[in-house]
Amino acid sequence: MRPAVWIEGSCWDTVVAELDRVAPDEGVLLPLVGLRRPPGSHPCNTIDLEELLSITIADVVRIPAHLQRNSSVLVSLLPGTDAWLDGELAARVAGRPALRSAAYLHSHPFAVERTWPSAGDIQGHMVPLLRRNREAALNSSFSFIACRSRTRGWRLQCFALDGAGRVVDLGFAEPIAADHGAVMRALAPSLRRGPDGAALKKMRQVLKRCGYRATLDELFDGWMRLRVNVGARVLVGLFAQDFRASTNVQWFLNQRGHTTAIRLGWQGLLSDDTARTVVEAACT
């Protein structure tokens, strides 16, 4: 089953305006996406294309005209663009862990109704991006290619490169409203920025005062991962965005490469008086 592909309405307006600006030459933008997996998916597992329920383009970066060179069959970015993009991306995704730069977007103004990635699109964009996405546990990359419609202006056809190196046609992106649940999930703030994040920060500080090395990482779907090094063992806690309300926390203990699910009350890690006892009990 193919994942649905959605694009937030104002993002689509930005895409259309940029493609109209450079037409009949090729245009380029950088999409930022949110990925939705089935409820209950383990947040640390590798994400395969077949597992995704939806891909949502929730934000898009419009590249300044002076940083791109356009022709009817090619668009290229000029020297200095990567540095500009790095800064822009950092600002867009700051505090939004579910928003990812995992795709490319450009146009094929010569194509009508349908299109397909060129060899350059696949080898130059999708393959390198797949390697980069795999470092973040995403076993796929995406290319969104706009083509002409005979009646509706532009259409955005969507493709994926799956883990086996196959190009998969995902169909056409559907515009959705800004208050659609998929958009709101993609733009949800990090746990670090709310009261739950304050609890996690306190937990990490307490553990460090107890002499443990504790780190916090942001995963897909807004999950946070707490890793606590206890000698040769690693205690891992996974926290959903609403963990204080729903007690949606999962705990695991890794010893000598073997991982076991365990039970642990996270509230005990908020106090210097109880944290060491809770950790030692979990690791025995």
For residue 278, pLDDT over 70 is answered with yes
Set out the domains of the chain in order of their start, with CATH numbers: 4-186 (3.40.140.10), 191-282 (no CATH)
* Secondary structure percentages of the chain, helix, strand, coil, to 5: 35, 35, 30
Question: What are 62's two structure tokens?
Answer: 């419009």
pLDDT tens column, 80-138: 898 999 899 889 988 888 899 999 999 999 999 999 999 999 999 999 999 999 988 89
Task: Report the predicted TM-score, pTM, of the whole model to 2 decimal places.
Answer: 0.82
**pLDDT band, very low/low/confident/very high, at 39 (cuts 50, 70, 90):** confident
CB–CB of 207/214 below 8 Å?
A: yes
Burial of 131 (0-12, 13-18, 19+ CB in 10 A): exposed
Burial of 243 (0-12, 13-18, 19+ CB in 10 A): buried
CB–CB of 88/129 below 8 Å?
A: no
